[in-house]
């Protein structure tokens, strides 16, 4: 869509408000709005000013002025606002130099795509994330100097099978058995369909929607693959639409990786492929129908996986999901069909156009611009340096004897471990100035200070069960 087409759409839909959205550093959408009368052809060249000093991880207060530059290709009508609102995703620029802001995550993703083209290896990278989420009916939590707790509830929760609901109609999915019975056990079919239809109306192609493995309202809606920046844009739209559709129906949705103890967490398996001049580069005659290029890309992803996880699994909750026994891939190996490997080669189709690799570690708490860019950079590094991933593991990695399992590298056990890996292994991200040194150092410092250390100093409720009587 061009600026002129956006203005025509505003007139056609009688738009009253224009909402300008951008991504903060850790990974939440931010926004401010202007009346539609403020949007002109010049707006797409001059942008809109705002104060960047309060955005997490960005400018200091003495250098706070910044500009949002609307991208007309991202325009869509918000389905939730009372007053007709047109949304556009924006890039961030310095108001004096007009240079793209290095800490704008969308700028990092744009640089990653440009660097890929400059290598001559590929001109297109496709990404297809499968983002899982929970829908709850009640969520309460608090943490202060003398108490800390959380409480979750869902009408679907198996823990409510004995509750007096006047009447309790049962049909609550068993733990780890929510994939995927029909209604009435699946009580969220209509809600997911509403989410799906909102996504389609916003211009996002949807392939399927279904209940996921866990009890208590775990869901998934699959979007059709797209290029890196567009797919990251779409994932933000996806999360926005999922959360607001749930809220409009008196429920709440979360992409937190591990909200429930002792059941599956929410991951985001990321399908990835490279193309050049409309030719798929990952199809070939090697293992599982892969090309040598694809194997080298897998080699790069596996080699750099501990550092990658600092971006693809960037929360302390992420590592409560990455434990054996819950379909979460903790072993850094690759395989066809084997879902216990960190990298899987889907075998649904034998068409060269569908040949791709699936990185199964990531989760929906990530900043998608940074996560997808890091995956692309790791894959390109593997291709450039011919990093072979070794032999595939077609056994169930969770059933290997201890002596065999000890030889398989595994993911870091904590966020701090991934941040340490990123400190020690980030040159592959620095190539082409895609991730600046400042971006990497700011990310590590922010995550350690605001999340890792913040949790380290707070007592955990279960510590009282373990230690109060000592």
Please confirm, yes or no, whether 450 is among the known catalytic residues. Answer: no
Task: For residue 356, indicate whether it is catalytic.
Answer: no
51 is catalytic: yes
Decide if 396 contacts 70 (C-beta within 8 A).
no
Q: Is 130 a catalytic residue?
A: yes
Known catalytic membership, residue 220: yes
Which member of 210, 339, 430, 448 is catalytic?
339
Catalytic residue among 24, 113, 132, 416: 132
N-to-C CA span, the chain: 66
Is residue 363 among the annotated active site residues? no
Out of 24, 78, 130, 381, pick the active-site residue. 130
Which entry of 51, 165, 190, 404 is annotated as an active-site residue? 51
Annotated active-site residue in 192, 356, 360, 426 = 360
Is position 358 annotated as part of the catalytic site?
A: yes
339 belongs to the catalytic site: yes
* Cis omega (within 30 of 0) for bond into 49: no
Catalytic residue selected from 78, 104, 113, 358:
358
Question: Among 269, 271, 304, 321, which one carries the catalytic annotation?
Answer: 269
Q: Which residues are catalytic?
A: 51, 130, 132, 212, 220, 269, 339, 358, 360
């Amino acid at each position: 869509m061009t600026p002129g087409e956006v203005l025509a759409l505003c007139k056609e839909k009688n738009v009253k408000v224009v909402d300008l959205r951008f991504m903060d550093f850790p990974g939440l959408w931010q926004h401010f709005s202007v009346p539609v009368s403020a949007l002109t052809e010049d707006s797409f060249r001059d942008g809109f000013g705002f104060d960047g000093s309060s955005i997490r991880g960005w400018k200091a207060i003495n250098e706070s002025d910044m500009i949002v530059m609307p991208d007309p290709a991202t325009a869509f009508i918000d389905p939730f606002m009372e007053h007709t609102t047109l949304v556009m995703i924006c890039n961030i620029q310095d108001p004096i130099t007009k240079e793209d802001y290095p800490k704008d995550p969308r700028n990092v993703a744009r640089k990653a795509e440009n660097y890929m083209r400059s290598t001559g290896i590929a001109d297109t990278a496709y990404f297809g994330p499968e983002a899982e989420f929970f829908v709850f009916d009640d969520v309460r939590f608090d943490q202060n100097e003398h108490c800390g707790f959380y409480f979750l509830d869902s009408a679907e929760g198996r823990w409510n099978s004995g509750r007096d609901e006047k009447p309790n109609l049962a049909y609550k999915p068993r733990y780890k058995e929510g994939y995927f019975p029909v209604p009435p056990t699946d009580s969220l079919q209509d809600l997911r369909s509403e989410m799906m239809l909102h996504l389609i109306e916003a211009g996002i192609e949807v392939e399927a929607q279904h209940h996921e493995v866990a009890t208590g309202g775990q869901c998934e809606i699959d979007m059709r693959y797209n290029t890196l920046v567009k797919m990251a844009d779409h994932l933000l739209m996806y999360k926005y639409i999922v959360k607001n559709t749930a809220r409009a129906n008196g429920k709440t949705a979360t992409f937190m990786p591990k909200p429930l103890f002792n059941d599956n967490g929410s991951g985001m398996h990321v399908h990835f492929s490279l193309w050049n001049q409309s030719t798929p580069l990952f199809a070939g005659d090697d293992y599982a129908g892969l090309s040598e290029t694809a194997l080298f890309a897998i080699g790069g992803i596996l080699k750099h996986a501990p550092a990658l996880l600092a971006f693809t699994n960037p929360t302390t909750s992420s590592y409560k999901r990455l434990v054996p026994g819950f379909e979460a891939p903790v072993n850094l190996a690759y395989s066809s069909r084997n879902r216990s490997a960190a990298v899987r080669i889907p075998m649904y189709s034998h068409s060269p156009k569908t040949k791709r690799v699936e990185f199964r570690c990531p989760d929906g708490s990530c900043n998608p611009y940074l996560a997808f860019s890091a995956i692309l950079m790791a894959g390109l590094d593997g291709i450039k340096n011919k990093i072979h991933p070794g032999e595939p593991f077609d056994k169930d990695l969770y059933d290997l004897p201890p002596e065999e399992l000890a030889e398989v590298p595994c993911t870091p056990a904590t966020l701090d471990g991934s941040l340490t890996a990123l400190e020690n292994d980030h040159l592959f991200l620095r190539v082409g100035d895609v991730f600046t040194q400042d971006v990497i150092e700011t990310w590590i410092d922010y995550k350690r200070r605001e999340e890792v250390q913040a949790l380290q100093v707070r007592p955990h409720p279960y510590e009282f069960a373990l230690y109060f009587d000592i």
